[in-house]
């Protein structure tokens, strides 16, 4: 009985030992599985974090690549000269338009601008190679010069020079609106803030006083805003029609655009002169000098600088 009991106890002991070993073995397997899962999760998390970092880096690089190129000293100089020329154009139009009328002023500006550019191209011996883009430059001239010249000349008869300059400074704001509505570009708060600060700066510098007849000036304000919308649209079209199709010498783009503006404005000027003939001998000499400066400097030179800036900076 004792022997049988000892055998039973030994069997029970072996069974307990095997059970303990089994439990320890299963615990080891479970620990190994848990460790493997933990390592796999850490590896996946590391790969995910790396992928996120790469995506963020690529997104940042794409954002940087989408920014316009930094403006060089030469481009900044051209921009400042252009700002001075086009700022002075409102003073000249204020002098000319009451004497010659809006349509004749706009046509005279475009015609003198075209003749000045023809002389410039001839003197500098620029090859007349439009690369099949001559019609595009004519269309740009109608949008970027013809219509704005007419609208600003008409507005100058009822608006002080300072107000025309302030409204002209809304061109970047119009560019943001046109880019978003027509071309699907993204609008950022920084863009809008920058534009508003620029307009406020022009308002402070010009020191525009309150309008004495705001209702009469409403038409002039509307005309100026339409002109700036034309400028904004033309900026995008210049990039798409000219810059993205191989580019073109800025002097040729300016020449073609002024020819297009002149052709557009010719019937308006002819109709005005037929209705209201101008007594040329009664026009002060200062008006003719102002028209010459408006056409040769503000237009001929101004648009060469403008299209060069679009080609270089965008």
**Residue 3's pLDDT is what?**
44
With CA atoms as reference, report the closest residue to 253 among 111, 147, 145.
Answer: 145
End-to-end CA separation in angstroms for the chain: 107
Structural tokens at position 125: 């011996």
Give Cβ neighbours of residue 151 (< 8 Å, ≥ 6 apart). Answer: 223, 224, 226, 227, 230
- Residue 56, pLDDT > 50, answer no
Structural tokens at position 198: 């620029």
**pLDDT tens digits for 148-168?**
999 999 998 888 877 888 888
Q: What is the dihedral of CA 261, 161, 211, 158, to 10 degrees?
A: -40
Alpha-carbon gap, residue 286 to 6, rounded angstroms? 134
Give Cβ neighbours of residue 246 (< 8 Å, ≥ 6 apart). Answer: 131
**Residue 126's pLDDT is what?**
93
C-alpha Rg value of the chain to the nearest Å = 36
Q: Work out the mean pLDDT of the chain and round it to a whole number.
A: 80
Higher confidence at residue 57 or residue 274?
274
Predicted confidence band of residue 102 (pLDDT cuts 50, 70, 90): very high
Higher confidence at residue 213 or residue 237?
237
Please provide the size of the chain in residues: 314
**Residue 1's pLDDT is what?**
42
Q: How far does CA 126 lie from the centroid of its chain?
A: 28
**pLDDT tens digits for 103-147?**
999 999 999 999 999 999 999 999 999 989 999 999 999 999 999
What is the dihedral sign for C-alpha 173, 177, 183, 186?
positive
Q: Are 265 and 149 in contact (CB under 8 A)?
A: yes
**Residue 196's pLDDT is what?**
77
Helix ranges restricted to H, 169-213: 171-181, 189-206
Alpha-carbon gap, residue 198 to 300, rounded angstroms? 26
Give the whole-number percent of the chain exceeding pLDDT 70.
Answer: 71
Predicted confidence band of residue 93 (pLDDT cuts 50, 70, 90): very high
pTM more than 0.75: no
**Residue 38's pLDDT is what?**
54
Environment class of 265 (CB within 10 Å of its CB; exposed 0-12, middle 13-18, buried 19+):
buried
Where do we find the tokens 């599985």?
Answer: 33
């Amino acid at each position: 009985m004792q022997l049988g009991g000892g055998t039973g106890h030994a069997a029970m002991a072996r069974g307990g030992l095997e059970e303990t070993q089994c439990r320890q073995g299963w615990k080891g397997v479970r620990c190994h599985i848990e460790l493997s899962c933990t390592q796999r999760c850490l590896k996946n998390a590391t790969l995910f974090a790396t992928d996120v970092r790469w995506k963020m880096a690529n997104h940042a690089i794409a954002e940087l690549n989408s920014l316009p190129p930094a403006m060089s000293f030469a481009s900044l100089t051209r921009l400042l000269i252009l700002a001075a020329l086009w700022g002075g154009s409102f003073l000249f139009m204020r002098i000319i338009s009451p004497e010659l009328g809006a349509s004749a002023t706009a046509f005279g500006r475009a015609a003198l601008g075209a003749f000045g550019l023809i002389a410039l191209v001839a003197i500098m011996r620029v090859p007349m190679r439009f690369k099949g883009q001559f019609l595009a430059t004519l269309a740009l001239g109608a949008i970027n010069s013809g219509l704005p010249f007419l609208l600003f000349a008409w507005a100058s008869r009822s608006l002080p020079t300072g107000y025309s300059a302030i409204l002209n400074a809304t061109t970047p704001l119009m560019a943001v609106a046109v880019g978003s509505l027509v071309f699907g570009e993204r609008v950022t708060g920084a863009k809008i803030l920058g534009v508003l600060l620029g307009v406020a700066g022009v308002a402070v510098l010009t020191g525009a006083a309150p309008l004495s007849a705001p209702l009469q000036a409403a038409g002039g304000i509307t005309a100026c805003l339409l002109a700036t919308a034309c400028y904004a649209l033309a900026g995008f079209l210049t990039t798409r029609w000219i810059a993205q199709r191989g580019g073109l010498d800025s002097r040729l783009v300016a020449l073609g655009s002024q020819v297009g503006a002149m052709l557009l404005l010719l019937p308006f000027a002819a109709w005005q002169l037929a209705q209201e003939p101008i007594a040329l001998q009664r026009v002060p000499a200062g008006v003719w000098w102002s028209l010459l400066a408006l056409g040769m400097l503000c237009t001929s030179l101004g648009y060469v600088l403008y299209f060069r800036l679009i080609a270089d900076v965008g």
